[in-house]
Amino acid sequence: MKDSPELAIRPAPYSRWSRYCVFSLYALAALWGSVQIAFPDSAGLYFLFALMFAIAATSWARLDALSRSKPILPILQMLYFFLWPVGAVVYLVSRSGWRGLGTGALHAVLMSLAMGITFYATFFGLHFTGLLDPRYYQQP
């Protein structure tokens, strides 16, 4: 009876999808680092990435709350969508207490590192292959 499958605790079905949303946030941050140097003047890409970041962050918070059986009200989801950098910290603090500040800071640093690494890797790769237009990084 001790090893019975009925007594096993299974993770909520939403928890796997919330992890995918976090992975997509990191992938977007890494891709955004490359896009910034490859297409520096593209307003459409800036808008597209802002939209994808907001969708991924809002989906993460919604799915994480559902996996904890504490759904977020639809109006708060909308506010979260428009203010997701602040909303993520507020959600983490409401979910984990003050430890959420540390979790939020850790994710901010790691996403910034992912973005910076891909930014400089793309910059040096394009520079040394001669594909980067020098007028984007020279002083006037």
Q: What is the pLDDT of residues 23-71, one digit of tens each?
A: 999 999 999 999 988 888 889 999 999 999 999 999 999 999 988 888 8
Residue 6 dihedral angles phi and psi, to the nearest 5°: -70, -25
pLDDT band at 125 (very low <50, low <70, confident <90, very high): very high
Evaluate if residue 5 carries a pLDDT over 80. no
3-class state of residue 89 by DSSP: helix
Give the rounded distance of the alpha carbon of 82 from its chain centre. Answer: 14
pLDDT of the residue at 46: 94
d(CA 137, CA 140): 9
d(CA 44, CA 2): 57
> 17 vs 27, which has greater pLDDT?
27
Structure-derived torsion over alpha carbons of residues 78, 81, 87, 89, reported in degrees to the nearest 10: 150
Structure tokens at 106: 């850790």
> 137 vs 105, which has greater pLDDT?
105
pTM summary value: 0.82
Evaluate if residue 17 carries a pLDDT over 90. no
> 110 vs 68, which has greater pLDDT?
110
Evaluate if residue 139 carries a pLDDT over 80. no
pLDDT of the residue at 33: 93
